[in-house]
Amino acid sequence: MDKLNIERRSVTPIVDAMQYDAGRQAEFTLTEDMTNKYAEYSFKIGENRTVKGHCDISEDNVAFFVIPQNVTCKIGDYPGSITFYDSSELDNAISSFPFIVSVTKNPKQDGDVYETALTDMINATNAAVSAAESANTAASNADSKASAAEQAAKNANSKASAANNAAQSANSAASSAQNLIDQMNNILDKWGDADFSAVLNTISDLQDKTSTLEDKTTTLENWKNSVDGGNDDVMIEV
DSSP reduced 3-state for 196: coil
The model's confidence at residue 74, banded by pLDDT at 50, 70 and 90, is confident
pLDDT of residue 235: 45
pLDDT at position 164 is 65
What tens digit of pLDDT does each residue of 192-233 get? Answer: 555 555 566 666 766 677 676 667 767 666 766 665 555 554
Instruction: Give the span between the Cα atoms of 104 and 92, in whole angstroms.
Output: 36
Ranges assigned E (strand) in the chain: 2-4, 14-18, 25-30, 38-44, 50-57, 62-66, 76-85, 93-104
For residue 17, pLDDT beyond 60: yes
**Interstrand relation of 14-18 and 93-104 (parallel, antiparallel or unpaired):** parallel
φ/ψ (deg, to 5) at 56? -80, 155
pTM of the model: 0.47
Classify residue 64 by burial, with Cβ atoms within 10 Å: 0-12, 13-18, 19+: middle
- DSSP code of residue 7: S
Q: Is the pLDDT of residue 90 over 50?
A: yes
Residue 111 binned pLDDT confidence (cut-offs 50, 70, 90): low
What's the rounded Cα separation, in Å, for the pair 64 and 70? 18
